[in-house]
Amino acid sequence: MLPEPTPNHIKYGKWSLINYRPDEIELLASAITVPSKVQRFLSSLYTSYPQYPPVAIFKFLLLFTISTFKHLTSFYRWALNHPQFLRDLGFRESYDVLVPSYKTFWHFMHIRIGKEKIHELFSVTIQAVLPVIRKAHKNQNIGTRAILDATPLTATTHDSEASYNGHYEKYCYLWHRLICADTGIPLQFSVTTGSIHEGHIGPALVLRARLNNVNIKELWFDMKYAFGEALATYWLLGITTHYRISASWNVSQNYSWSTLQCVYYKLWKNDAYRINASYNYVLKFLALHGYLRDVGIHLRNLRIDEYLEASDSYIEEVSLRSGIEASNGYAKRNSGIKEREFRGLKHVLAHVGFYEVGRLILAYSRCREGVNGVATNKIGS
């Protein structure tokens, strides 16, 4: 059985935040289950028969990412003193040695997986996990409502790859997360330098999620993600968006419907041009012919008008994100990721990737136990 939340776990809303202590990690070793599809992927990483089981190494690293240990070296030293924990993971004595060297674990995370394979590992995992979660909840719509959020990961001293973020006022990386609004499990993720414009990240995460059979229909996000190009892309994908209105935004007549119509009329020579085209057709035509930003700002203007006409109902509509973001914020502060020290984008990406995969494996393991509702109540973000 997976351990229940203990008093050292912070609870907020529907989610309990997972940051397991060593005694709980020992219980998890024999309880977590890795889908067979993921096991086959791990085995495919080797060109010859591995001396130590890849699944055991994989589970070892997953448990490290959700533990209270700050460094992999300290987790490794603790594991050496708990041989039953290692056996529960699947390690067996090979040449009188139960567990490989520390360097083997490091190599597996940063070289054998690394930045080249971490997104593929996540894709394989969510494709195996999501159908099980939907079946356990008897809800095929899980994963269709999502939250887009980001958090800074403070760079270590002399990290030349990190960059300055004016909002957070520090050198950092940004950890972008696409989170299921109903269960809190990750649907997609990305890590960038701190200075990148966040609005361009959202569409990429949504499109990558679709490649993993995660068809998002509703999306909540902060105003910093409400770029014109992004809003138009979501509209083209048929996604209903919810976001707060910035006090600095103004309704510009340069992107009014009449202005867009004039732009459309000037493109009459295009083969796809239609006389008396509908509103939706005109917007789609312009978005696909070099006016993506114009269409996005036009859509944003409509939301500003909606807010001005009925601000209370609009705020209520976007308030779901506030509650989930509060829970997600606690999760990010208590996940242990932000306290770990790693340098360079590829190392940050590997750690974050294993953390997100760990969230999925825990959700899968709880659902495999056959207890309805545990994925929502226990997994969190």
Q: What is the pLDDT along the chain (381 residues), one digit of tens a residue?
A: 555 444 333 333 333 445 678 888 888 888 899 999 999 999 999 999 888 899 999 999 999 988 888 889 999 999 999 999 999 999 988 756 788 899 999 999 999 999 999 999 999 999 999 999 988 888 888 889 999 988 888 888 888 889 998 888 888 899 999 998 888 889 999 999 988 878 889 999 999 999 999 999 999 988 888 889 999 999 999 999 988 887 788 888 899 999 999 999 999 999 999 999 999 999 999 999 999 999 999 999 998 888 888 776 666 666 655 555 544 554 555 555 655 666 789 999 999 999 999 989 988 998 887 543 333 343 433
Residues 267 and 292 in one domain: yes
Residues 36 and 172 in one domain: no
Residues 56 and 155 in one domain: no
Residues 95 and 169 in one domain: no
Residues 214 and 101 in one domain: no
Q: Determine whether 277 is exposed, middle or buried from the number of CB atoms within 10 Å of its CB (0-12, 13-18, 19+).
A: middle
Asked if the structure places residue 175 within a domain, the reply is yes
**Residue 39: CA count within 13 A, CB half-sphere:** 8
Domain enclosing residue 277, as ranges: 142-329
Residues 40 and 177 in one domain: no
Residues 188 and 100 in one domain: no
Asked if the structure places residue 4 within a domain, the reply is no
Asked if the structure places residue 1 within a domain, the reply is no
Rounded Cα distance, 107 and 72, in Å: 12
Residues 106 and 153 in one domain: no
Residues 67 and 85 in one domain: yes
Give the domain CATH number at 154.
Answer: 3.30.420
Residues 172 and 242 in one domain: yes
Asked if the structure places residue 40 within a domain, the reply is yes
Residues 65 and 146 in one domain: no
Q: Within 10 A of 207 (CB to CB), how many other CB atoms are there?
A: 13
Asked if the structure places residue 334 within a domain, the reply is no
Residues 195 and 320 in one domain: yes
Residue recorded with tokens 């996940």: 335
Asked if the structure places residue 220 within a domain, the reply is yes
> What predicted TM-score, i.e. pTM, was given to this entire model?
0.86
